[in-house]
Amino acid sequence: MSKRRIGIMGAMPEEIEGVVALLSDCVESSMGKRTYFSGQLNGIETVVVFSRWGKVAAATTATTLIHEFKITELLFTGVAGAISSELKICDIVLGKRLIQHDMDARPLMNQYEIPLLSKTYFESDATHLVIASKAIQTVFENKSLHSVIGENDLVEFNISQPKLFIGDIASGDQFFSSNEQKVNLNTQLPNVLCVEMEGAAVAQVCYEYEIPFSIIRTISDIADETAHIDFPSFIKKISSKYAAEIIKNIYNQM
């Protein structure tokens, strides 16, 4: 039986900085224009990496983690734009099902269906979903974020009582920055909670290699014309600390 080794990915450097800081005995290695940080977190072997944006970059990184670093499970932490009107900035979406909203091979097959796999959605492992859910709820109940994020930043983004949502996440190689994009996706896939650029690609790779995964997304914007304004500031002030607190609590649940 292979030794437990967890891979942690984020699509931006800020999304992994706080997680890398949690590692003990950290060793860096470079491969495929990426730096992989290997160490221990709560006594568990862990590899953390900035994957870069988009489905191809994410799939490449996930495959490297599986082949070169022999990970046995994978966590993806990052931000997303809200599609559901119920979501507010700083809420967390835990992906139960992942779908590629830009996959369309009609008329050869149904829209969103992945060629050769006969699958439209990739489902997260139920056990890992429970672990991540408990960890996120613990962060919220203990108000951990209020101890690591400055009061001014909490006020700036109107963060008071963030909530956890579990459901569908859509991925595609598009940054959503117009209400038209948002409405179109919501019309076609009404169950989708949020949109991002990597999760479903990671889920597909993990499915093909039988690696359990968790996709955890913090809502950074509402995926409309204000997205590009809110996004950089949110990443800088909130994302890294948020990710580190959640990962820390996931490891405490293991």
- The answer as to whether 29 is a domain residue is no
Cα(48)–Cα(64) distance, rounded to whole angstroms?
A: 12
Low-confidence ranges of the chain (pLDDT < 50): none
- The answer as to whether 239 is a domain residue is yes
- The answer as to whether 12 is a domain residue is no
What residues have CB less than 8 Å from 191, skipping those under 6 apart? 167, 168
Q: What is the pLDDT of residue 133?
A: 96
- The answer as to whether 141 is a domain residue is yes
| Residue 162 structure tokens | 């963030």
3-state SS, residue 183: helix
Cα(55)–Cα(202) distance, rounded to whole angstroms?
A: 8
What radius of gyration do the chain's Cα atoms show?
17
Backbone angles phi, psi at 110, to 5 degrees: -65, 150
- CATH code of the domain in which 88 resides: 3.40.50.1580
Tens digits of residue pLDDT in 188-215: 999 999 999 999 999 999 999 999 999 9
Provide the domain limits for residue 223.
77-253
Instruction: Specify the pTM.
Output: 0.93
Question: Directed axis angle between helix 126-141 and helix 240-253, to 10°?
Answer: 120
Q: What is the pLDDT of residue 146?
A: 74
The count of residues in the chain is 254
Rounding to the nearest 10 degrees, give the CA dihedral for residues 107, 109, 110, 115. -140
